[in-house]
Amino acid sequence: MSNPIVQRFKSRDATIGVVGLGYVGLPLCAAFGKAGFRVLGFDVDPQKVERINRGESYIDAVPGEDLAQLVEAKQVEATCDFSRAAEVQAVAICVPTPLTKNMDPDTSYMERTAESIGPHLQPGTLVVLESTTYPGTTDGLLGPILERTSGLKVGETLYLAYSPERENPGTKWTTHAIPKVAGADDPISREAVQALYTGAVADVIPVSSARVAESAKLLENIYRCVNIALVNELKVCFARMGVDIFEVIDAARTKPFGFTPFWPGPGLGGHCIPIDPVYLSWKAKEFGVRTKFIDLAQEVNTAMPEYVLERCMDALNTQQKALNGAKVLFLGVAYKKDVDDVRESPALVLWDLFSAKGAQLDFHDPHVARLGRGRHYDINRDSVTLSDEALKSYDLVVIVTDHSSIDWKQVVDQAPLVVDTRNATREVRGDATHVFLA
Taking only the tens place, the pLDDT of each residue in 206-231 is 999 999 999 999 999 999 999 999 99
Rounded CA-CA distance 328/175 in Å is 38
Rounded CA-CA distance 92/161 in Å is 9
* pLDDT 10s digits, 34-76: 999 999 999 999 999 999 999 999 988 899 999 999 999 999 9
Give the pLDDT mean for 184-203: 95
* pLDDT 10s digits, 264-298: 999 988 767 778 888 999 999 999 999 999 999 99
Helical spans, DSSP H, in 3-63: 4-10, 25-34, 46-53
Give the pLDDT mean for 167-174: 77
Please tell me the predicted confidence (pLDDT) of residue 33. Answer: 97
Please say if the pLDDT value at position 1 is more than 70: no
φ and ψ of 116, to 5 deg: -75, -40
Rounded CA-CA distance 287/211 in Å is 15
User: Cα 209 to the chain's mean position, in Å?
Assistant: 24
Please tell me the predicted confidence (pLDDT) of residue 167. Answer: 81
The model carries a pTM of 0.90
Please tell me the predicted confidence (pLDDT) of residue 55. Answer: 96
Give catalytic residue positions: 272
Helix (H, G, I), strand (E, B) or coil at 144: helix
Closest CA to 185 of 225, 130, 143, 248: 143
305 CB contacts (<8 Å, ≥6 apart)? Answer: 266, 267, 346, 349, 350, 353
Domains, the chain, in order of start with CATH, read 4-208 (3.40.50.720), 209-302 (3.40.50.720), 303-438 (3.40.50.720)
Rounded CA-CA distance 108/141 in Å is 11
Measured at the alpha carbon of residue 254, what is the angle toward residues 251 and 259, in degrees to the nearest 5? 95
Please tell me the predicted confidence (pLDDT) of residue 373. Answer: 79
Please say if the pLDDT value at position 365 is more than 80: yes
> Please, are residues 72 and 106 in contact by the beta-carbon 8 Å criterion?
no
Rounded CA-CA distance 218/345 in Å is 20
Torsion of CA 182, 188, 189, 195, to 10 degrees: 50
Helical spans, DSSP H, in 241-345: 245-252, 276-286, 292-302, 304-317
> Please, are residues 438 and 307 in contact by the beta-carbon 8 Å criterion?
yes
Rounded CA-CA distance 358/354 in Å is 7
